[in-house]
Amino acid sequence: MGWPNLVTRLMRSESVKTSGAGPVIAWSHVGRPKWTPRRYECLADEGFRKNVIAYRCATMVATAAAGVPWLIYNVRGDEIEDHPALRLMDQPNPLQDGVSFLENIFLNLQISGNAYIEAVQPYGGGRPAELYVLRSDRMKVIPGASGLPEGYEYSVGGKVTRWSADPITGQSAVLHIKYFHPLDDWYGLSPLEAAMLSIDQHNAAGAWNQALLGQGARPSGALVFAPKEGPASLSDEQINRLREEMDQHYQGGRNAGRPMILEGGLEWKEMSLSPKEMDWLAGRDAAARDIALAFGVPVQLIGIQGAQTYSNMQEARVALYEETVLPLLARVIAAFDHWLMPLFGPQLSFDFDRDEISALTSRRDTLWDKVQGADFLSLNEKRAALGYGPVADGDEVGAASSDKI
């Protein structure tokens, strides 16, 4: 009996439950690699490389999320301070430390909506020895008959590496983390793609300004020759001389703003709107706000003029973590819990250390004060509210004290 027939029989057996919609979703692509949408290169180039706002937002979120330490807990809720999985996350491969490794994961999610991590296991199986982040544009998902991926392909310079995936559970040596996409079953939708219209507007505003600076004080308009006497048109020699003078004295950044001196019946006629009339700055700021909105970054943190006050900046940093960074961390940690932790033992789970986030210090101090003043709670209830495990003789109400918490 062939392997495909065996899988089909397993899927049809009563002991295995699969999605009814899965085979329908996968039907047109079963066994064939489904290419990453080609828009990725455009997103990375026009959106990330050439737009300062999108670059700043993506790196800000990724750097903040990568800087939060990871923890491991057992089933009882006790923290395990030294564990092979923690050491692996601290040094995932010879080329990267843990922070840069996580930063790559978060940046891939921000730019492409997908992140792929490879676990390199020793020959014969066992715990992973190294972890690598794979480039999203080089990876292809291979749909399976059950609606889950049956494998992944990674192409570099004509050479292809393929990893298989369990057609029932989806388990694989490659972890695929993706954002929700309403129109794609296999790849995620990134914040960068959602912001592309605003990014195009922002880039166009920058290109317009650059072109204006390049032209200097030679704005779009016309020189009208209307002499009161003499020939009604300029000679070829006069036209060439006029062009040379315009190029020499009124073009380029160093000549910006230089007034024109006209004679002999020449008159300048403006043929375009001024930057003020076009509301150029307001439009550019509006596009920047929309880009920041897509990434979940408060506008106070991206340099919008008039939005940065001291109190606003403090609240903006708190909002960045609470509304964007912490949910992103929770998503990635949940994926690692499902994919990586079973290889290191049962009933272990990752978490992140909220106490190490300096931006949340004020909120943490407020919570601490409120818990300390709650006389109707026991010591263990107060410790649970603050994220700590129970202690002996801590269940009696009124027994809590600040030195015990």
What does the alpha-carbon distance between residue 107 and residue 109 come to, in Å, rounded to a whole number? 5
**pLDDT at residue 220 in the model:** 56
Tell me the CA distances in angstroms from 196 to 19, 23, 287, one per residue in order: 34, 33, 10
Query: Comparing 15 with 319, which gets the higher pLDDT?
Result: 319
Q: Which residues neighbour 310 within 8 Å (Cβ) at sequence distance 6 or greater?
A: none
**pLDDT at residue 26 in the model:** 46
pLDDT surpasses 60 at 140:
yes
The encoded tokens of residue 98 equal 């843990």
What does the alpha-carbon distance between residue 311 and residue 61 come to, in Å, rounded to a whole number? 21
In one-letter notation, the amino acid at residue 117 is: I
**pLDDT at residue 27 in the model:** 45
pLDDT surpasses 90 at 113:
yes
pLDDT category at 346 given cuts 50, 70, 90 is: confident
Calculate the average pLDDT of the chain. 79
Q: Which residue reads 């809720």 in tokens? A: 77
- pLDDT, tens digit, 9 for 90 and up, residues 218-266: 455 666 666 666 666 667 777 777 777 777 766 655 655 566 666 666 6
In one-letter notation, the amino acid at residue 124 is: G
225 three-state secondary structure? strand
pLDDT surpasses 90 at 358:
no
266, 300, 257, 273: which is closest to 208 by C-alpha?
273
What does the alpha-carbon distance between residue 33 and residue 162 come to, in Å, rounded to a whole number? 10
- pLDDT, tens digit, 9 for 90 and up, residues 46-57: 889 989 999 999
**Average pLDDT of 394-402?**
61
- Asked which of 143-152, 246-255, 279-288 is least confident by mean pLDDT, the reply is 246-255
Contact 122, 128 (CB under 8 A): no
What does the alpha-carbon distance between residue 137 and residue 148 come to, in Å, rounded to a whole number? 20
**pLDDT at residue 188 in the model:** 92
Contact 65, 331 (CB under 8 A): no
pLDDT surpasses 60 at 175:
yes
**pLDDT at residue 258 in the model:** 61
What does the alpha-carbon distance between residue 118 and residue 218 come to, in Å, rounded to a whole number? 56
**pLDDT at residue 237 in the model:** 77
- Asked which of 7-16, 247-256, 303-312 is least confident by mean pLDDT, the reply is 7-16
**pLDDT at residue 191 in the model:** 93
The encoded tokens of residue 402 equal 């600040």
Listed by start position, the domains of the chain span 19-192+308-370, 221-271, 373-405
Contact 191, 296 (CB under 8 A): yes
pLDDT surpasses 70 at 289:
yes
pLDDT category at 114 given cuts 50, 70, 90 is: very high
pLDDT surpasses 60 at 326:
yes
- Asked which of 57-66, 132-141, 238-247, 290-299 is least confident by mean pLDDT, the reply is 238-247
**pLDDT at residue 12 in the model:** 43
**pLDDT at residue 82 in the model:** 92
What does the alpha-carbon distance between residue 18 and residue 352 come to, in Å, rounded to a whole number? 33
Query: Comparing 383 with 72, which gets the higher pLDDT?
Result: 72
Q: Which residues neighbour 171 within 8 Å (Cβ) at sequence distance 6 or greater?
A: 165, 339
**pLDDT at residue 19 in the model:** 54
**pLDDT at residue 180 in the model:** 93
HSE, CB side, 13 Å, CA atoms: give it for residue 243.
7
What does the alpha-carbon distance between residue 141 and residue 153 come to, in Å, rounded to a whole number? 7
Tell me the CA distances in angstroms from 30 to 17, 150, 171, 328, one per residue in order: 19, 8, 17, 31
**pLDDT at residue 68 in the model:** 94
Q: Which residues pair with 160 in a beta bridge?
A: 155
Of 116-125, 145-154, 207-216, 289-298, which has the strongest mean pLDDT? 289-298
Q: Which residue reads 């939060």 in tokens? A: 68
- What percent of the chain stands above pLDDT 90? 37
What does the alpha-carbon distance between residue 277 and residue 268 come to, in Å, rounded to a whole number? 19
Helix, strand, coil percentages in the chain from 3-state DSSP, rounded to 5: 45, 15, 35
**Average pLDDT of 15-21?**
51
pLDDT surpasses 50 at 24:
no
pTM of the model: 0.73
Contact 33, 153 (CB under 8 A): yes
